[in-house]
């Protein structure tokens, strides 16, 4: 006898009373997508997702599930009938497969009509184990904890739990337009959003020939890595060269970056609304560079009333780097290609730009038509399961999320 | 596509590739096997060896060792000589504009084995002058490495004169990387002890290369484990690759005069076209190889211009990628005493036998357009 199933415990469900159905629907969908490559049976219900392993080894399945958001923990379990003799027999056989010398039995009984109470079940199971094995009881520091969960009509036995990613199932908290540069921060910001159930639709501003084609390849590689957390991703590339040249030609150097960011936000808002996104997200971290001081953020943010999410706004650089290493985007992010050419980097950028000044400089050229032109020229790249694909191959928890 | 990056790599000759495939399918025996099939393959290998030595004009004095390319050949020379002859002296001289496969390898011997590695300065044209070399030689020197033609600028070194200087010191060996000269110019290589080059720069497949060494000189092998290639490079020999390299070299040498004439025409045409662009300064001159023309931009960023050319399907090289974290710069141009702005903004155009006047025209038109379109640096 061996543990033959996995039990997926839902994440922050308790806080989501009325959204329970949506939570479960999204998570079951995401689990199915994540486990596509494994020959396992997936069944979701009100309380948990049960995954029948069959002949499949549990370890790779558990490892994959640990990358799916909305899962609190994963238990390796054996499902049995409820008569106490059956439970005793199964528990004894299963515990014999585990390494260790001491044990403890913990029982949770949701079926209140069961003849024995929780303590009674624990005693009965422990007695059986003591009778049939050499294990000894240690209730304080046991090597093995045999968990017995008694639900109406079924009993679940488990000895091992694995932590999940937490957060919400991807797709249940709407979607945002994510500004992706290719640096260290924006992929981490995207990951943070995904983990909290927000579907990420990516937008990149390309300024060839000032930026290189290699940047797009780098972005594709980053997104293929992020496919682990969001199986299907769209990258929209905005042709930004003309606008950037116009800024460079009309705006005093210290204000170039501020105005550039204002233009990016204007474009992002248009794109977001067109794509039915509920916000814009960036990898900004307050104080990190001139355009990310609070004063800069105020001036940049002034062009929109649309929400801008900044998941990393108060994160330390070191912890951002740590996360990027953990999600394996760091090595890609540090490739030398830059998203902004040195030609456009002011020597002394304004760290406290003023809204009225920015507006005055912007009035000196017709940026509105350049913005229209940029939005018109957007091209799409689709990535799914770590590969570049055609748009029609994209699947999301909600139809029409990334492809109309 | 307009390909003007032939110093980086070339398209293999079609006939050479066809023969390569045929030999791979028909002569697949291990050239080391002791049966008739193996002997037959081995004799093909020896034929390729002889052909290479003949084309280089060193049949009587040198031997050829087939390997994966110039980088491996250069590594073999440096490590092979350093490990064998450290007892004779620990000084190594290398040209300051050598390819990284020489410079980095030499400096690693300094770092790991305690050798004294000294870079030989070049003149304003990028050449090592024999007098300069003579002033740096001493009895401790065991190896001198100076390339025949520089890969970035096309500057030519006078190998026979330099060899004469080195050979006044009997303990010193002379190595030259021929990657940009072989098949592209007449030169007497007989005074050089070690010659290395890659096949893919002369229209052979990638992964082919040769180290030609003076037969009487022994050195340690980089790859141990078998007696292939006279015990100097263990591992089953890529006989079809060796044949392809020999074939490509032979074809190139046979067409050499025509190729050089074409390259000279294109060089002149490009030079004249560039002279009409105010911000261009040439880093190559007519005394150098006609296959390479290097110039710098005074107002624009070279990497941006190269990217813009690339968008139009025109392929050339620049020193660097656009990188805000420290601008890469050409150490070759710096060694020639060029201005730092020129060193960071150079473009290399390199010709091959497939290029035409129309290619150069198209390049010049595109370059002029781009220089008016893109923002200055």
In whole numbers, what is the pLDDT of chain B averaged over residues?
95
| Residue A153 burial class via C-beta count within 10 angstroms: exposed 0-12, middle 13-18, buried 19 and up | exposed
Q: What is the least distance, in Å, from the CA of B322 to any CA of chain A?
A: 6
- Same domain as B302, residue B228: no
Q: Given pLDDT bands bounded at 50, 70 and 90, which one contains residue B323?
A: very low
Question: Residue B27 maps to which CATH number?
Answer: 3.40.640.10
**Residue A209 to residue B371: CA distance in whole angstroms:** 12
**Structural domain boundaries enclosing B178:** 14-254
> Whole-model pTM above 0.90?
no
Contact yes or no for A209 and B325 at CB 8 A: no
Whether residue B71 lies inside any domain: the answer is yes
Which one, of A133, A228, A141, A242, lies nearest residue A190 by Cα? A228
Over residues B315-332, mean pLDDT:
71
H or E stretch at A252: none
Average pLDDT of the residues in A86-107: 94
Same domain, A247 and A146: no
What is d(CA A354, CA A302) in angstroms, rounded to the nearest whole number? 10
Q: Nearest residue on chain A to B375, judged by CA atoms?
A: A245
Of A213, A249, A345, the CB nearest to B324: A345
User: Beta A102-109 vs B62-67: how paired, if at all?
Assistant: unpaired
Residue B344 and residue B327 in contact, taking contact as beta carbons nearer than 8 Å = yes
The total number of structural domains that make up chain A: 2
Final residue of a domain: which of B237, B254, B271? B254
CB pair distance less than 8 Å for B324 and A338: yes
Sign of CA dihedral B65, B69, B72, B75: positive
Residues B291 and B354 in one domain: yes
Of the three residues A113, A142, A166, the one that is the final residue of a domain is A166
Regarding whether A197 and A151 lie in a shared domain, the answer is no
Residue of B304, B329, B345 to mutate, interface with A, max A Cβ within 10 Å: B304
C-alpha A108/C-alpha A118 separation (Å) is 6
Same-domain status, A226 and A140: no
Q: What share of chain A is helix, strand, coil (3-state, %, to 5)?
A: 40, 25, 35
A17 touches chain B (CB under 8 A): no
What count of other Cβ atoms lies within 10 Å of the Cβ of residue B312?
Answer: 17
Name the catalytic one among B67, B203, B253, B322: B322
**Cβ separation B304–A343 shorter than 8 A:** yes
Peptide bond into A380 cis (omega under 30): no
Same domain, A45 and A124: yes
Q: Do residue B224 and residue B289 come from a single domain? A: no
Task: Kindly report, residue by residue over A19-40, the tens digit of the pLDDT.
Answer: 788 888 899 999 999 999 999 9
Question: Of B114, B375, B38, whose CA–CA distance to A343 is shortest?
Answer: B375
Kindly tell me if the per-residue pLDDT of A165 is higher than 60: yes
- One-letter-per-residue 3-state SS of A49-107: EEEECCCCCHHHHHHHHCCCCCEEEEEEEEEECCCHHHHHHHHHHHHCCCCCCEEEEEE
Establish whether B322 is a catalytic residue: yes
- Cβ distance of B324 and A340 shorter than 8 Å: yes
Report CA Rg, chain B.
21
Residue B352 lies in a domain: yes
Both tokens of residue A110?
């949701």
Alpha-carbon span B292 to B151, nearest angstrom: 8
pLDDT recorded at residue B326? 54
- Name the residue among A209, A213, A249 with its Cβ closest to that of B304: A209
Of the CA atoms within 13 Å of residue A113, those in its CB half-sphere come to 5
**Chain B residues within an 8 Å CB radius of A343:** 301, 304, 375-377
* Contact check, Cβ <8 Å, B311/A208: yes
- Report the candidate in A388, A33, A395 with the shortest Cα–Cα distance to residue A222: A388
Among candidates B55, B366, B297, which has minimal Cα distance to A343?
A: B297
CATH number at residue A338: 3.40.50.620
Residues of A in contact with B377 (CB under 8 A): 342-343
A–B CB contacts, 8 A cutoff, strictly below: 57
Clarify whether residues B46 and B121 are in a common domain. yes
- At residue A349 the predicted structure's pLDDT band, cuts being 50, 70 and 90, is confident
| Chain A interface, best mutation among B307, B310, B326, by max A CB count within 10 A | B307
**What's residue B321's pLDDT?**
41
Q: State mean pLDDT over B58-76.
A: 97
* Cα–Cα nearest to A384, from A170, A174, A230: A230
* Residue range B165-177: mean pLDDT, rounded: 97
**Strand locations in A207-260 (E):** 232-239
Identify the domain boundary among A147, A166, A185.
A166
Choose among A249, A336, A344: nearest Cβ to B323: A336
Q: Are residues B245 and B263 part of one domain?
A: no
Q: Do B305 and A245 touch (CB under 8 A)?
A: no
CA-based nearest residue to B133, from B142, B152, B146, B124? B146
Instruction: Report which of B240, B263, B241, B314 is spatially closest to residue B2, judged by C-alpha positions.
Output: B314
Q: What is the mean pLDDT of residues B113-138?
A: 97
Interface of B with A (CB under 8 A): 301, 303-308, 310-311, 321-325, 327, 370, 374-377
Q: How far apart are CA A139 and CA B19, in angstroms?
A: 77
The answer to whether the CB atoms of B304 and A337 lie below 8 A apart is no
Task: Say if A334 is an interface residue toward chain B (CB within 8 Å).
Answer: no
Query: In chain A, what residues touch B321 (CB-CB under 8 Å)?
Result: 212, 214, 336-337
> Is position A75 within any domain?
yes
Range of the domain at A74: 5-166
């Amino acid at each position: 006898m061996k543990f033959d199933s996995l039990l997926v415990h839902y994440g922050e469900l308790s806080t989501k009373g009325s959204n329970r159905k949506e939570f479960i629907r999204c998570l079951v969908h995401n689990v199915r997508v994540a486990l596509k490559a494994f020959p396992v049976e997936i069944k979701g219900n009100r309380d948990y997702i049960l995954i029948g392993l069959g002949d499949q080894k549990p370890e790779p399945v558990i490892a994959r599930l640990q990358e799916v958001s909305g899962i609190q923990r994963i238990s390796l379990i054996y499902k049995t009938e409820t008569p106490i003799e059956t439970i005793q027999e199964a528990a004894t056989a299963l515990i014999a497969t585990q390494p260790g010398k001491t044990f403890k039995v913990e029982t949770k009984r949701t079926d209140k009509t069961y003849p024995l109470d929780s303590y009674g079940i624990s005693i009965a199971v422990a007695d059986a184990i003591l009778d049939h094995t050499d294990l000894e009881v240690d209730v304080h520091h046991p090597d093995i904890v045999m968990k017995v969960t008694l639900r109406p009509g079924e009993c679940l036995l488990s000895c091992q739990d694995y932590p999940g990613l937490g957060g919400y199932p991807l797709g249940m908290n709407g979607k945002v337009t994510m500004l992706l540069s290719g640096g260290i921060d924006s992929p981490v910001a995207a990951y943070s959003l995904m983990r909290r159930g927000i579907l990420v639709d990516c937008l990149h501003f390309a300024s060839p020939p000032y930026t290189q084609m290699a940047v797009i390849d780098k972005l594709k590689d980053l997104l293929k890595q992020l496919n682990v957390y969001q199986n299907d991703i769209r990258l929209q590339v905005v042709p930004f060269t003309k606008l950037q040249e116009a800024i460079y030609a009309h705006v005093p150097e210290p204000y170039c970056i501020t105005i550039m960011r204002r233009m990016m936000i204007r474009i992002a808002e248009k794109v977001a609304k067109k794509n039915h996104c509920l916000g814009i997200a960036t990898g900004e971290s307050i104080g990190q560079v001139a355009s990310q001081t609070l004063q800069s953020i105020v001036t940049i943010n002034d062009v929109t009333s649309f929400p801008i999410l900044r998941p990393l706004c108060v994160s330390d650089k070191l912890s951002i780097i740590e996360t990027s290493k953990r999600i394996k985007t760091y090595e890609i992010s540090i490739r030398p290609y830059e998203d902004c050419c040195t030609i456009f980097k002011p020597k002394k950028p304004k760290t406290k730009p003023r809204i009225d000044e920015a507006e005055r400089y912007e009035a000196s050229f017709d940026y509105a038509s350049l913005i229209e032109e940029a939005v018109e020229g957007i091209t799409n790249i689709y990535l799914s399961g770590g590969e570049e694909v055609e748009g029609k191959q994209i699947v999301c928890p909600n139809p029409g999320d990334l492809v109309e | 596509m307009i390909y003007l990056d032939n110093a980086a790599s070339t398209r293999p000759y079609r006939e050479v590739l066809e023969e390569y495939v045929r030999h791979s399918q028909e002569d697949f025996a291990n050239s080391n096997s002791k049966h008739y099939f193996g002997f037959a393959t081995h004799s093909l290998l020896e034929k390729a060896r002889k052909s290479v030595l003949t084309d280089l004009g060193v049949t009587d004095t040198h031997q050829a060792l087939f390997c994966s390319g110039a980088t491996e050949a250069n590594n073999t020379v440096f490590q092979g000589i350093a490990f064998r002859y450290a007892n004779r002296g620990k000084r190594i001289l290398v040209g300051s504009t050598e390819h990284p496969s020489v410079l980095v390898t030499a400096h690693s011997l300094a770092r790991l084995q305690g050798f004294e590695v000294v870079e030989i300065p070049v003149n304003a044209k990028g050449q090592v002058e024999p007098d300069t070399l003579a002033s740096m030689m001493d009895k401790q020197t065991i190896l001198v490495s100076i390339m025949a033609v520089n890969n970035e600028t096309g500057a030519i070194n006078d190998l026979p004169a330099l060899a004469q200087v080195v050979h006044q010191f009997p303990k010193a060996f002379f190595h030259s990387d021929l990657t940009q000269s072989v098949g592209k110019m007449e030169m007497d290589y007989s005074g050089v002890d070690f010659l290395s080059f890659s096949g893919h720069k002369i229209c052979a497949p990638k992964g082919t290369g040769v180290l030609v060494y003076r037969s009487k000189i022994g050195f340690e092998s980089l790859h141990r484990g078998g007696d292939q290639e006279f015990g100097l490079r263990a591992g089953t020999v890529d006989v079809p690759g060796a044949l392809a390299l020999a074939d490509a070299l032979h074809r190139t040498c046979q067409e050499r005069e025509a190729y050089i004439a074409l390259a000279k025409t294109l060089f002149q045409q490009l030079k004249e076209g560039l002279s009409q662009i105010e911000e261009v300064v040439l880093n190559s001159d007519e005394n150098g190889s006609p296959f390479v023309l290097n110039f710098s931009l005074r107002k624009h960023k070279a990497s941006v211009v190269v990217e813009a050319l690339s968008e139009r399907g025109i392929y050339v090289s620049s020193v660097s990628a656009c990188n805000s974290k420290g601008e890469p710069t050409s150490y070759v141009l710096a060694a020639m005493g060029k201005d730092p702005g020129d060193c960071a903004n150079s473009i290399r155009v390199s010709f091959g036998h497939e290029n035409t006047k129309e290619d150069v025209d198209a390049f010049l038109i595109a370059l002029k357009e781009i220089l008016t379109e893109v923002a200055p640096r």
